[in-house]
Amino acid sequence: MPGFSLIELVVSLAVIATLGALTVPQINRGLEHWRARGAASYVASRFAVARMQALQHNTNVAIRFERVGSVIQIASYEDGNGDGVKSKDIAAGVDWPVAPIERIDELFPGVSFGFEANATLTDGTSVASGADPIRFGSTDLVSFSPIGTATSGTVYLHGSGGWQYAIVVLGATARTRTIQFDPKALAWGDPW
Protein backbone atom coordinates (compact mmCIF):
# COMPACT_ATOMS: atom_id res chain seq x y z
CA MET A 1 0.00 0.00 0.00
CA PRO A 2 1.56 3.28 -1.07
CA GLY A 3 2.08 5.97 1.58
CA PHE A 4 3.63 9.35 2.10
CA SER A 5 7.23 9.90 2.97
CA LEU A 6 8.15 12.12 5.88
CA ILE A 7 9.51 14.74 3.48
CA GLU A 8 6.25 14.83 1.50
CA LEU A 9 4.28 15.24 4.72
CA VAL A 10 6.52 18.07 6.00
CA VAL A 11 6.32 19.90 2.64
CA SER A 12 2.52 19.54 2.60
CA LEU A 13 2.23 20.90 6.15
CA ALA A 14 4.54 23.81 5.28
CA VAL A 15 2.38 24.72 2.28
CA ILE A 16 -0.79 24.54 4.40
CA ALA A 17 0.79 26.69 7.14
CA THR A 18 1.95 29.29 4.60
CA LEU A 19 -1.49 29.50 2.99
CA GLY A 20 -3.07 29.81 6.43
CA ALA A 21 -0.71 32.63 7.39
CA LEU A 22 -1.55 34.49 4.20
CA THR A 23 -5.33 34.23 4.65
CA VAL A 24 -5.62 35.24 8.34
CA PRO A 25 -4.99 38.98 7.69
CA GLN A 26 -7.58 38.95 4.89
CA ILE A 27 -10.10 37.25 7.16
CA ASN A 28 -9.46 39.83 9.90
CA ARG A 29 -9.88 42.72 7.42
CA GLY A 30 -13.12 41.22 6.19
CA LEU A 31 -14.37 40.84 9.75
CA GLU A 32 -13.52 44.49 10.53
CA HIS A 33 -15.40 45.56 7.40
CA TRP A 34 -18.49 43.52 8.27
CA ARG A 35 -18.53 44.88 11.82
CA ALA A 36 -18.44 48.48 10.57
CA ARG A 37 -21.03 47.76 7.90
CA GLY A 38 -23.22 45.94 10.42
CA ALA A 39 -23.01 48.85 12.86
CA ALA A 40 -24.09 51.28 10.14
CA SER A 41 -27.01 49.02 9.22
CA TYR A 42 -27.94 48.71 12.88
CA VAL A 43 -28.05 52.49 13.44
CA ALA A 44 -30.12 52.90 10.26
CA SER A 45 -32.52 50.22 11.54
CA ARG A 46 -32.84 52.04 14.89
CA PHE A 47 -33.88 55.12 12.91
CA ALA A 48 -36.42 53.08 10.94
CA VAL A 49 -37.90 51.62 14.14
CA ALA A 50 -38.19 55.11 15.69
CA ARG A 51 -39.90 56.36 12.53
CA MET A 52 -42.42 53.49 12.65
CA GLN A 53 -43.06 54.02 16.39
CA ALA A 54 -43.78 57.72 15.74
CA LEU A 55 -46.29 56.81 13.05
CA GLN A 56 -47.91 53.98 15.05
CA HIS A 57 -48.18 55.88 18.35
CA ASN A 58 -49.04 59.21 16.69
CA THR A 59 -46.36 61.04 18.66
CA ASN A 60 -42.75 62.17 18.34
CA VAL A 61 -40.06 59.55 18.93
CA ALA A 62 -36.39 60.49 19.09
CA ILE A 63 -33.03 58.77 19.12
CA ARG A 64 -30.67 60.52 21.50
CA PHE A 65 -26.90 60.18 21.27
CA GLU A 66 -25.71 60.43 24.87
CA ARG A 67 -22.05 61.14 25.62
CA VAL A 68 -20.58 59.27 28.55
CA GLY A 69 -16.92 60.20 28.68
CA SER A 70 -15.45 59.39 25.28
CA VAL A 71 -18.26 56.96 24.40
CA ILE A 72 -21.55 57.81 22.68
CA GLN A 73 -24.59 55.71 23.63
CA ILE A 74 -27.88 55.42 21.75
CA ALA A 75 -31.24 55.73 23.52
CA SER A 76 -34.82 56.04 22.18
CA TYR A 77 -37.45 58.26 23.79
CA GLU A 78 -41.13 58.97 23.21
CA ASP A 79 -42.74 62.38 23.70
CA GLY A 80 -44.76 62.40 26.90
CA ASN A 81 -46.36 65.86 26.86
CA GLY A 82 -46.99 66.72 23.20
CA ASP A 83 -44.20 69.28 22.78
CA GLY A 84 -41.64 67.00 21.10
CA VAL A 85 -38.81 65.05 22.67
CA LYS A 86 -36.54 67.43 24.57
CA SER A 87 -33.46 66.89 26.72
CA LYS A 88 -35.02 68.75 29.66
CA ASP A 89 -38.15 66.54 29.43
CA ILE A 90 -35.97 63.42 29.31
CA ALA A 91 -34.13 64.58 32.44
CA ALA A 92 -37.46 65.31 34.18
CA GLY A 93 -38.89 61.92 33.20
CA VAL A 94 -41.65 63.46 31.07
CA ASP A 95 -40.31 61.91 27.85
CA TRP A 96 -39.75 58.24 28.58
CA PRO A 97 -37.40 55.62 27.13
CA VAL A 98 -38.85 53.15 24.62
CA ALA A 99 -35.71 51.06 24.07
CA PRO A 100 -32.70 50.21 26.20
CA ILE A 101 -29.57 52.34 26.07
CA GLU A 102 -26.95 50.70 23.87
CA ARG A 103 -23.31 51.20 22.98
CA ILE A 104 -22.16 50.51 19.44
CA ASP A 105 -18.71 49.41 20.61
CA GLU A 106 -20.27 46.69 22.75
CA LEU A 107 -22.51 45.43 19.95
CA PHE A 108 -19.85 45.77 17.24
CA PRO A 109 -16.32 45.59 18.71
CA GLY A 110 -13.88 48.00 17.08
CA VAL A 111 -16.62 50.35 15.82
CA SER A 112 -17.40 53.78 17.27
CA PHE A 113 -18.94 57.11 16.35
CA GLY A 114 -16.29 59.29 14.76
CA PHE A 115 -14.11 59.89 11.73
CA GLU A 116 -11.16 58.20 10.10
CA ALA A 117 -8.10 60.44 9.68
CA ASN A 118 -8.61 61.11 5.95
CA ALA A 119 -12.43 61.17 5.87
CA THR A 120 -14.53 64.14 4.83
CA LEU A 121 -18.10 65.11 5.62
CA THR A 122 -20.66 63.79 3.13
CA ASP A 123 -20.60 67.15 1.31
CA GLY A 124 -16.81 66.87 0.78
CA THR A 125 -15.86 69.33 3.52
CA SER A 126 -12.73 68.39 5.43
CA VAL A 127 -13.11 67.23 9.01
CA ALA A 128 -11.23 68.87 11.87
CA SER A 129 -9.58 66.64 14.44
CA GLY A 130 -12.05 65.80 17.21
CA ALA A 131 -15.06 66.90 15.13
CA ASP A 132 -18.53 65.91 16.33
CA PRO A 133 -19.73 62.76 14.50
CA ILE A 134 -23.38 63.48 15.41
CA ARG A 135 -24.64 66.19 13.06
CA PHE A 136 -28.27 67.12 13.73
CA GLY A 137 -27.90 70.86 14.11
CA SER A 138 -27.12 71.96 17.65
CA THR A 139 -28.67 68.88 19.25
CA ASP A 140 -27.75 65.23 19.69
CA LEU A 141 -31.36 64.18 19.02
CA VAL A 142 -32.87 62.96 15.78
CA SER A 143 -36.62 63.24 16.12
CA PHE A 144 -39.25 61.44 14.04
CA SER A 145 -42.74 62.94 13.84
CA PRO A 146 -46.14 61.27 13.45
CA ILE A 147 -46.60 62.98 10.07
CA GLY A 148 -43.53 61.24 8.60
CA THR A 149 -40.84 63.90 8.89
CA ALA A 150 -37.60 63.95 10.87
CA THR A 151 -34.67 66.05 11.94
CA SER A 152 -32.24 66.25 9.01
CA GLY A 153 -28.67 65.27 9.70
CA THR A 154 -25.93 62.68 9.56
CA VAL A 155 -24.24 60.27 11.94
CA TYR A 156 -20.67 59.09 11.24
CA LEU A 157 -19.27 55.70 12.26
CA HIS A 158 -15.81 54.28 11.79
CA GLY A 159 -14.33 50.89 12.40
CA SER A 160 -10.88 49.50 12.84
CA GLY A 161 -9.27 48.86 9.51
CA GLY A 162 -10.17 52.29 8.11
CA TRP A 163 -13.86 51.69 7.39
CA GLN A 164 -16.00 54.86 7.45
CA TYR A 165 -19.80 55.00 7.13
CA ALA A 166 -22.41 57.73 7.33
CA ILE A 167 -26.12 57.37 7.99
CA VAL A 168 -27.96 60.34 6.48
CA VAL A 169 -31.50 61.20 7.61
CA LEU A 170 -33.60 63.10 5.06
CA GLY A 171 -35.89 65.43 7.02
CA ALA A 172 -38.82 65.77 4.60
CA THR A 173 -39.41 62.02 4.33
CA ALA A 174 -37.59 60.70 7.44
CA ARG A 175 -35.88 58.14 5.25
CA THR A 176 -32.29 57.13 5.80
CA ARG A 177 -29.42 56.45 3.45
CA THR A 178 -26.24 54.61 4.42
CA ILE A 179 -23.10 55.54 2.52
CA GLN A 180 -19.46 54.49 2.71
CA PHE A 181 -16.32 56.59 2.37
CA ASP A 182 -13.80 55.52 -0.26
CA PRO A 183 -10.39 56.65 1.04
CA LYS A 184 -8.72 56.24 -2.36
CA ALA A 185 -11.22 58.42 -4.23
CA LEU A 186 -11.85 60.64 -1.17
CA ALA A 187 -15.57 60.41 -1.93
CA TRP A 188 -18.76 58.96 -0.47
CA GLY A 189 -20.84 56.36 -2.27
CA ASP A 190 -23.29 53.50 -1.87
CA PRO A 191 -21.73 50.57 0.03
CA TRP A 192 -24.10 47.95 -1.25
Polymer length in residues for the chain: 192
Tell me, rounded to whole angstroms, the distance of Cα 182 from its chain centroid. 16
* Mean pLDDT across 172-192: 88
| Mean pLDDT, residues 173-178 | 93
CATH architecture classification, 7-189? 3-Layer(bab) Sandwich (3.55)
Q: Is the pLDDT of residue 20 over 80?
A: no
pLDDT confidence band for 181 (50 / 70 / 90): very high
Domain coordinates in residue numbering, the chain: 7-189
The model's confidence at residue 24, banded by pLDDT at 50, 70 and 90, is low
Predicted confidence (pLDDT) at residue 156 exceeds the cutoff of 60: yes
- How many whole angstroms separate alpha carbon 36 and alpha carbon 143? 24
pLDDT score of 128: 86
Residue 48: HSE in the Cβ half-sphere, 13 Å Cα cutoff: 10
Q: What is the pLDDT of residue 29?
A: 61
Cβ-based neighbours of 192, under 8 Å, separated by 6 or more: 178
Residue pLDDT, tens place only, 75-127: 999 999 999 999 999 999 999 999 899 999 999 999 999 998 888 999 988 98
Q: How far apart are CA 155 and CA 140, in angstroms?
A: 10
What does 25-80 look like in DSSP terms, one character per residue?
Answer: HHHHHHHHHHHHHHHHHHHHHHHHHHHHHHHHHTS-EEEEEEEETTEEEEEEEE-S
- Ramachandran area for residue 114 (φ above 0: left; ψ -120 to 50: alpha; else beta): left
